[in-house]
Structure 1
Amino acid sequence: MTTYLTVSALTKYIKYKFDKDPHLQSVLIKGELSNFKKHSSGHLYFAIKDENSLINAMMFKAQASKLDFVPKEGDQVLVEARVSVYERRGSYQIYVNQMQLDGIGYLYQKFEQLKTKLSKEGYFDESHKKTIPKYPSKIAILTAQTGAAIRDIQNTLTSRYPLAEQIKISTLVQGEAAKADIIEKLRYADTLNVDTIIIGRGGGSIEDLWNFNEEEVVKAIYQCETPVISAVGHETDTTLSDYVADVRAATPTQAAMIATPDKKELLQMIAQSRIFMTRFIKQYLKHARQYMTQYTSYYKLKQPTLLYEQHVQKRDELDRMLHEAMKQRLLFERQKLIMMQQRFHLKHFYQYIVTQQEKNSNLKKQLSKRMYAILKQKEQHLIQKVEILNNLSPTQTMLRGYSIVKRENEVITSRKQLSKGDDIEIMMKDGSIDAIIEKVRCQNDVKK
């Protein structure tokens, strides 16, 4: 008899084959995102396609939460995935473990992420920017040994400010070894005691300029003690080195212009300064001659003793006043000293002590009398209180012929507390009596 498989059985068998194939457990695929959807559960459902084919894919929430970008329709991506079969539809699909943007898109994303990170860490803050010296004596140029950038910088520096010494440091600006070389040359240039460092290169794609976006290069520029001008690429190109540098130049030529003054402007400024100084000196000499003429015609200069004779007389008067003031002060201090000696004479001091001792003795006597009177008053008051308390004492009452009746150590104050047959204790002034109640009656009862 022929055995037929169910659709489910065949699908399970095919899925088993897919899951057991080691070549399908981890495949690397590149393509374009299509039909992208994010489920409310957090799982991602999409397809990856190229010019000729399309394959369905999904990414679980746990893996999707680790993505460092937001996927969208049309993104070119690189994925690492596992190939399997979705039994319900009987179709094969991939389960994505990792996904990243492909090519330029990835670099732009990495650029923005690194820019945000470094900005938060304060590398781009204006407070860290250093001022470019206005009149540099030495300028270090870090760029490729050949190319338009070095020529533009050198020609501009020579034409604008030939007084500045140009220190050319050949630097790799592209390729795998460029990052390490840029960092090394920056640190070297920072030790040369130059006034300004210009670092740059010509234009290019984002891949060509990427070495100037590396985090290590950005930090190396930030750590430079020497002011740095960044001139990477053309005017539309922007790298992270531009953000961290003290000044960003749109082109290498502009960097040279920022680093130096223009000799034509300096010559013009010198000429104007010369004219100004000449006019100022002439005016100053003219006024000085006028003052000199006035001073030479001044009457006191013709008779020099007039300049100081008044001051000599004033000095003598002040000297006399000073001596008089010193004599008065000395006399006052002597009188003050005599008064103090009289006040503190030994005999007077002894009399003062005797007087104080007598006062002290009198005060002691008064205190003793006062204390005795108070104690006597308190004693009388205490005797009165004791007498009142004694009169109220039960013992005194019993001395007058009364007794105290107790039952079980409880004082009986009413007949209602007793019943026939109760054991009682009668306390008298000289002892106690045990008794038994035979009859209880009130005051109105007639004795039978």
Structure 2
Amino acid sequence: MLEEVALLDVPHEIEYREGFPVLTVSQAVEALDEQLRDLFPGLWLRGEISGLTHARSGHYYFTLKDDVAQISCVLFARDAARLRWRPEEGMAVLLFGEPGIYRDRGQLQVIARQLEPEGAGALAVAFEQLCARLRDEGLFDEDRKRRIPRLPKRVGVATSPKGAVIRDILQVSRRRHPGIDIVIAPTRVQGDGAENEIAAAIGRLQHQGIDVLIVARGGGSLEDLWPFNTEPVARAIFSSDVPVVSAVGHETDTTIADLVADLRAPTPSAAAELVFPDRRQLLADVTAGHDRLTRALTQALNQKRERIERLQRLLPHPGRRLEWQRQRLDDLFARCNRAIRTDIERRQQRLNHLVARLDGVDPLRPLARGYTMAECGGQPVTRAADLTPGQTVDLRFADGVAQSRIESVQLEEGAA
């Protein structure tokens, strides 16, 4: 041990005291760290996660413990990014890492490089964790799922452009309804990064005028189907503007894509059967509907005809009813004539009365009895005092006007 420490590259000569080296704290920590790494270049630890902290940097800090001891651990962000599940407090795990000394605190710690959940596999844990989170957000709610259109005009398909899946879908579509357009968004359906390609394919199809979308791949292992158990694919399906049919794997396989989709089909061929209507069945349905409508209309017309016949028996003959109406019209006409004549006579009497009253106040009426009316400048002269000798006045008679000149004016006694 002393010889190995002596081989350390230190800036000054190591001092020995009573046969033992005198080191600075940093030298001691460095020496211990190197010895520990040489002794255990890597090791597996089994224990329970405690005191878990997820830093903003992406690193995980926690303590791994058992019934007797505990040790500090760190999982750096670059290694954590490779995990398909999230470490949780109290979880039993199997950890592979490198032991060492954290020099700032002189603390023993293990740098974790791999982390696996004990018992259930990592993929199963990741599946359950993501399911729980998405379920809490409402992505699996049944009340948000939409009906598949019965007669789509355009269908989008996100799948691999090669293999049996796309061939099966095209074959079913040609057999059931070749008149429906198909838009294919090719994508990888397994392997690292496939989930982002699948999500991008779903996004591209949103701008192709489709009415419904099929997300499909054939069967495989849990690892092969894993892209359809990821958050990017789940959120892409959830955000789709049109209904989505998930057809991933075999009937016994269940993926998160199936849980988010509006409809799950057991196989890609079954998805095509659900999305593409059978043209022959549609024609048969139309014919049957036409027949039902014809029978319903015929029955309705017969019921109306019977009702009219019953009403005809209850109602009087139209000719007799017309005679009653004519007689009533004649009576009304006669009554109107009498009323009009009475009103005219009453108005004529009133008019004669008014004419007589007007005649009584007509200023020209006395002229017919030999009287005259003097006017000067178009205005009547009512007093002799208003006249002066030599003034010309008009004398109005019943049959005309004569001019005269005033020779003299004689006023009655007491006249002003």
- TM-score range (shorter-chain normalised) is 0.5 to 0.7
Partner residue, 1:78: 96
Query: Structure 1 residues 16, 143: CA separation in 2 closer, same or farther (over 3 Å shift)?
Result: closer
Query: Structure 1 residues 150, 37: CA separation in 2 closer, same or farther (over 3 Å shift)?
Result: closer
Does the CA contact (< 8 Å) of 2:49 and 2:90 recur in 1?
A: no
Query: Structure 1 residues 307, 101: CA separation in 2 closer, same or farther (over 3 Å shift)?
Result: farther
Partner residue, 1:68: 88
Structure 1: gaps spanning 5 or more residues: 7-14, 47-55, 85-93, 320-448
Question: What secondary structure sits across from 1:21 in the alignment?
Answer: helix
Q: Aligned partners of 2:331, 2:204: CA distance in 1, in Å?
A: 72
Deviation of the 1:67 alpha carbon: 4.2
Q: 2:37 aligns with which of 8, 20, 24?
A: 24
Question: What secondary structure sits across from 1:146 in the alignment?
Answer: coil
Q: 1:98 aligns with which of 99, 105, 112?
A: 112
Partner residue, 1:131: 147
| Equivalent residue letter for 1:301 | P
Does residue 121 in structure 1 map to residue 137 in structure 2? yes
Deviations 1:194-253 (A, max 9, x none): 211001101122222222222122111111110111111112222221111111222112
Query: Does 129-138 or 306-315 show the bigger shift?
Result: 306-315
Deviation of the 1:140 alpha carbon: 0.9
Does the CA contact (< 8 Å) of 1:140 and 1:197 recur in 2?
A: yes
Q: Aligned partners of 1:107, 1:284: CA distance in 2, in Å?
A: 64
Q: Aligned partners of 1:280, 1:215: CA distance in 2, in Å?
A: 53
Query: Structure 1 residues 204, 76: CA separation in 2 closer, same or farther (over 3 Å shift)?
Result: farther
Question: What secondary structure sits across from 1:136 in the alignment?
Answer: coil
Query: Structure 1 residues 80, 307: CA separation in 2 closer, same or farther (over 3 Å shift)?
Result: farther
Q: Aligned partners of 1:258, 1:194: CA distance in 2, in Å?
A: 16
Query: Structure 1 residues 23, 277: CA separation in 2 closer, same or farther (over 3 Å shift)?
Result: same
Q: Aligned partners of 1:313, 1:273: CA distance in 2, in Å?
A: 56
Query: Structure 1 residues 241, 58: CA separation in 2 closer, same or farther (over 3 Å shift)?
Result: same
Matches within 5 A, 1:148-167: 148-167=164-183
Structure 2: gaps spanning 5 or more residues: 1-17, 20-27, 51-61, 76-85, 103-107, 337-416
Does the CA contact (< 8 Å) of 2:160 and 2:217 recur in 1?
A: yes
Partner residue, 2:409: none
Q: Aligned partners of 2:35, 2:328: CA distance in 1, in Å?
A: 116
Does the CA contact (< 8 Å) of 1:300 and 1:307 recur in 2?
A: no
Q: Aligned partners of 1:59, 1:310: CA distance in 2, in Å?
A: 117
Q: 1:201 aligns with which of 203, 210, 217?
A: 217
Deviation of the 1:171 alpha carbon: 2.1
Q: 1:111 aligns with which of 102, 113, 127?
A: 127
Q: Aligned partners of 2:270, 2:330: CA distance in 1, in Å?
A: 75
Q: Aligned partners of 1:150, 1:165: CA distance in 2, in Å?
A: 14
Q: Aligned partners of 2:187, 2:331: CA distance in 1, in Å?
A: 81
| Equivalent residue letter for 1:96 | V
Does residue 259 in structure 1 map to residue 275 in structure 2? yes
Aligned length: 288
Q: Aligned partners of 2:88, 2:326: CA distance in 1, in Å?
A: 95
Deviation of the 1:117 alpha carbon: 1.6
Does residue 279 in structure 1 map to residue 295 in structure 2? yes
Matches within 5 A, 1:24-423: 24=37, 29=42, 31=44, 33=46, 44=64, 58-60=70-72, 67-68=87-88, 70-72=90-92, 77-82=95-100, 95-98=109-112, 101-102=115-116, 105-263=121-279, 265-284=281-300, 286-287=302-303, 300-302=317-319, 305=322
| Equivalent residue letter for 2:258 | D
Q: Aligned partners of 1:45, 1:296: CA distance in 2, in Å?
A: 99
Does the CA contact (< 8 Å) of 2:95 and 2:112 recur in 1?
A: no
Query: Does 261-270 or 17-26 show the bigger shift?
Result: 17-26
Q: Aligned partners of 1:172, 1:116: CA distance in 2, in Å?
A: 27
Query: Structure 1 residues 80, 223: CA separation in 2 closer, same or farther (over 3 Å shift)?
Result: farther
Query: Structure 1 residues 162, 57: CA separation in 2 closer, same or farther (over 3 Å shift)?
Result: farther
Identity %: 31
Partner residue, 1:366: none
Does the CA contact (< 8 Å) of 1:78 and 1:100 recur in 2?
A: yes
Higher helix share: 1
Q: Aligned partners of 1:240, 1:155: CA distance in 2, in Å?
A: 27
Structural RMSD (CA): 4.8
Deviation of the 1:177 alpha carbon: 4.1
Deviations 1:124-147 (A, max 9, x none): 222321221122222111111121
Query: Structure 1 residues 134, 289: CA separation in 2 closer, same or farther (over 3 Å shift)?
Result: same
Deviation of the 1:61 alpha carbon: 8.9
Deviation of the 1:167 alpha carbon: 2.2
- The TM-score normalised by the length of structure 1 is 0.51
Deviations 1:56-77 (A, max 9, x none): 99534999xx9427554xx654
Does the CA contact (< 8 Å) of 1:231 and 1:252 recur in 2?
A: yes
Q: Aligned partners of 2:194, 2:328: CA distance in 1, in Å?
A: 83
Does the CA contact (< 8 Å) of 1:230 and 1:247 recur in 2?
A: yes
